[in-house]
Structure 1
Amino acid sequence: MVTEVDPLAGLDDVEWEWLVHAYGAAKDVPAGLRALRSPDEQVRHDALVNLGSSVTHQGSRYSASAPVARFIVEVVLAPDALDRERLLEFLCALAVGIDDDRLPAGVPIAEWRDEAAQVEAEREVLVAHAAQWADSEMKRGRERELWLRNPFSGLAASPDTVAAYDAVRDALPRLVRLLGSNRSVERACVAYLIGMFPESAARTVPLLADRFDVEADEHALTATLIAHGLIASPAATHERVARFLDDERPLVRWGAATALARASATASRPPGRRVIRILIDSTVHQDVPDLRIHDGWIGSYAAKSLASIRHWLTAADVEDLANLLPLSASSFNRDQLLDTILSAAFPGAGRAANVRLDGLTPVQQHALRAVLPVWESDDSWMSTIPDALARHGLICSRTEIEAALTTGGTA
């Protein structure tokens, strides 16, 4: 006889009232976790939204985040789990915050641990600041004590952040079983999650590699390719992934090119023309909402990958990208593509560079000519284009650029 285990066993043993999330004391968390087991789909949906907005608010983690992660793991692994793919995505947010920020470079966990140690060393100072804040806000008694117990609330790369990350990492040996799920979306989600944990690569990379010969679903295979690229050695990625550049499915080719670009950037070696060409073409790929990677923003991720290997882009590559700018599938993708074009056309130029418009190279002229019609036609870009230009040393107006291009970029 198999005894059914309650995945939320011990929930009431946690002193939630002394932990915090984005909106204060975490005493509402137990009800939210229980709601994830409701037979009512809307109740589960609302509970997940509310939990996400509180314990991973705008990518931040809090003292309540790690305990929540541990219970979410149990809910995910329960035989009767519902919405398992959404819960896996929530685990990713609990571990790394906004995952888009971890792409394409991966999770800098060593930096996080160093920063968290520095924050921990300043605990007494932070507690003193919390006391001053509580006094200024007229907080007394238990409410004041709550904030003194939680001095890291919302800080980036704090002990709370690392604790949440480690809560998911510690469960990885159990979660990887879902690579064999009969649901492709679950396989895709857990493969992508694995890519967030480079410290576990010795155990998990072989598991990802084993999937290459058996995974038939293009979304799950793409997620597996990208995860492998994030945590495997560059040599292993080149050896195992290059064959997928010729796959008949565009999404899989993009996943392979993404993984190989990551490997090339890590090893500081040229990625090859095939990789660059696939990524250039992918910048205008239609968004794939069902892809659990970068929210399905294929074009944006392709542009970010190109930015990571911009040193190997030719002038012709940059001009090709500039020509594709008006064709981007969405303004979000276009924004990232613009940043990639400018980083390649104006290498090394930052806000302090103040690039002169009277000495533009041909490729710089081509890039700016592509920007002008987009800038003029789309009012939503009135605030983003000037800022993008400024990030690359171009502190100038549209009129000034037009004038410079009229004279060929020379005084």
Structure 2
Amino acid sequence: MTDNDPLTGLDDVPWAQLQHSYGMADDVPGHLRAMQAGVWEVRYPPSAQLANHIVHQGTRSQAAVYTVPFLVRMALDPRLVNRHRFIGLLVAIAIGLDNNYLPNGYDPREDRASLADIRDEADDWAQWIDEAADDEQRKQREGSCAQVLIDAEAVVRSYDAVREALPALAVLLTSDSPELRAKTANLLAWFPESAAASIPLLKAFIADEDSPGAAATGVVALGLLGEPATVPFIRRYLDSPIVELRWASAFALTRFGIADPAVVDVLTQVVARPPEKTETMSFLSGSYMSLAAMALAETSEATTLRAVDAMLVGLADCRGVEAFDDRYYTAETLFRLVFPDDPAEPPQAFGDLSDVQQRVVRFVADQDEAGWPSGGMDAFRRWKVPTRHSDLRVYAGIVQAGQ
């Protein structure tokens, strides 16, 4: 390796002593080198393979923080291809899965407080270990306590490592690649403590950006940062001729509790007829529809017939693998809205449901038997609504029992 090689120092890291989701992390250097080479012979790119190991299902591992310097340097190296994937992995290292924090953004104080609580409980943990019945149980308890601390530290250390790299990465907002520009805007969205530096950069980026998806990503990022002073800037895009920008403005405004008719109109239109997905809008895997539904759920209009019908129109067009995220997150949001919590008195029959509940049940009964989100089916069960497709069709009066 040369001094300008992004992977300089890679072999100096004690990978074999660090953990990831599948054991020790001695395979991480191979994944990083494959990412640098930009070629692969298997189904998934090296970035996805590495993510599966160090942030498996959003869980940040001990090894994750040690990859950050190398990913940052690769993201900044113009000789490499697919640099937006490096930034995407940095987002995952920082926060895990974004669906856990949308539509309201990430607050790092919560994870820091969790870590502090674990450290404050050290005496209680020590007492629990001392009370072990034998050496074997004592070792098990020591291992459990150590792992809890390792995991909590990994979350905070990973986030802070990426945050420290933001000043260097901000230059990528002016990259020649719209995907890389958009991913960088996405990254800035998750660091509210850096908002003072990020907001001027994002405003300039949005004003100059010619990719609708990338510009929309910047507007959403402003909303997620949560600085009220950005509201006038965000609002100016609510009547943009570009649907992606109208959507982004409406989404971001709900973050500040703004849900006037113009905002609701845009969200209702987009949830029914979302713009085409592109790699330049990567929040929630690019699902304009689901993000519109999530934002709509933050408004008082969420359970009106108009809003529910719009979500059903959108869901009716969700077909194929490419629409999985649209279908999953929109349905999850809709079912949670229409069938909230446990009913005081579960309905005894279809006719006891509200109008919007009947519409949702009838819609699901009219669809193919393809699976719906487990959370949605749990909502049905709480309300004593059948979840088996054939039973649901009888319940909704679409067919007679036995047909």
* TM-score range relative to shorter protein: 0.7 to 0.9
Q: Which amino acid aligns with 1:397?
A: P
Aligned partner of residue 278 in structure 1, secondary structure: helix
The correspondence for 1:317, drawn from 296, 306, 314, is 306
Kindly indicate whether the alpha-carbon contact (under 8 Å) linking 2:386 and 2:395 is maintained by their aligned counterparts in 1: no
Residue aligning to 1:257? 250
Gaps of 5+ in 1: 140-144, 265-269, 407-411
Aligned partner of residue 210 in structure 1, secondary structure: helix
Distance 1:213 1:382, change over 3 A: closer
Aligned partner of residue 171 in structure 1, secondary structure: helix
The correspondence for 1:214, drawn from 186, 197, 208, is 208
The correspondence for 2:264, drawn from 251, 271, 276, is 276
The correspondence for 2:386, drawn from 365, 375, 397, is 397
Q: Which amino acid aligns with 2:358?
A: L
Residue aligning to 1:61? 60
Q: Which amino acid aligns with 2:246?
A: R
Residue aligning to 1:199? 193
Gaps of 5+ in 2: 399-403
Q: Which amino acid aligns with 1:164?
A: S
Distance 1:382 1:241, change over 3 A: closer
Residue aligning to 1:379? 369
Kindly indicate whether the alpha-carbon contact (under 8 Å) linking 2:301 and 2:307 is maintained by their aligned counterparts in 1: no
Aligned partner of residue 238 in structure 2, secondary structure: helix
Q: Which amino acid aligns with 1:262?
A: R
Structure-to-structure mapping, 1:30-179, within 5 angstroms: 30-38=29-37, 40=39, 42=41, 46-122=45-121, 125=125, 151-152=147-148, 155=151, 158-179=152-173
Would you say how many aligned residue pairs link Structure 1 and Structure 2? 382
Shift of 1:211: 2.0
Shift of 1:287: 5.3
Deviations 1:252-277 (A, max 9, x none): 2111111112222xxxxx41111111
Aligned partner of residue 32 in structure 2, secondary structure: helix
Structure-to-structure mapping, 1:311-390, within 5 angstroms: 311-313=300-302, 315-321=304-310, 324=313, 326-329=315-318, 330=323, 332-345=325-338, 349-351=340-342, 353-356=344-347, 364-381=354-371, 384=374, 385-390=376-381
Residue aligning to 1:142? none
Kindly indicate whether the alpha-carbon contact (under 8 Å) linking 1:196 and 1:230 is maintained by their aligned counterparts in 2: yes
Mapped pair 1:248 → 2:238? no
Aligned partner of residue 117 in structure 1, secondary structure: helix
Separation in structure 2 between the aligned mates of residue 36 and residue 345 of structure 1, nearest angstrom: 44
Mapped pair 1:293 → 2:283? yes
CA-based RMSD: 3.6
Shift of 1:400: 8.6
Structure-to-structure mapping, 1:180-199, within 5 angstroms: 180-199=174-193
Q: Which amino acid aligns with 1:282?
A: V
Distance 1:10 1:152, change over 3 A: farther
Separation in structure 2 between the aligned mates of residue 263 and residue 373 of structure 1, nearest angstrom: 32
Deviations 1:123-182 (A, max 9, x none): 6839959x99x968x99xxxxx9x689623885xx1111111111011001111111112
Separation in structure 2 between the aligned mates of residue 332 and residue 79 of structure 1, nearest angstrom: 32
Q: Which amino acid aligns with 1:186?
A: L
Aligned partner of residue 7 in structure 1, secondary structure: coil
Separation in structure 2 between the aligned mates of residue 82 and residue 376 of structure 1, nearest angstrom: 46
Separation in structure 1 between the aligned mates of residue 284 and residue 148 of structure 2, nearest angstrom: 28
Separation in structure 2 between the aligned mates of residue 32 and residue 338 of structure 1, nearest angstrom: 36
Kindly indicate whether the alpha-carbon contact (under 8 Å) linking 1:212 and 1:221 is maintained by their aligned counterparts in 2: yes
Distance 1:272 1:82, change over 3 A: same
The more displaced of 192-201 and 94-103 is 94-103
Distance 1:404 1:232, change over 3 A: closer
Separation in structure 1 between the aligned mates of residue 165 and residue 311 of structure 2, nearest angstrom: 44
Kindly indicate whether the alpha-carbon contact (under 8 Å) linking 1:106 and 1:230 is maintained by their aligned counterparts in 2: yes
TM-score normalised over the length of structure 2: 0.82
Shift of 1:402: 7.0
How many percent of aligned residue pairs carry the same amino acid? 29
Separation in structure 2 between the aligned mates of residue 94 and residue 377 of structure 1, nearest angstrom: 38
Residue aligning to 1:409? none
Separation in structure 2 between the aligned mates of residue 21 and residue 193 of structure 1, nearest angstrom: 23
Q: Which amino acid aligns with 1:283?
A: V
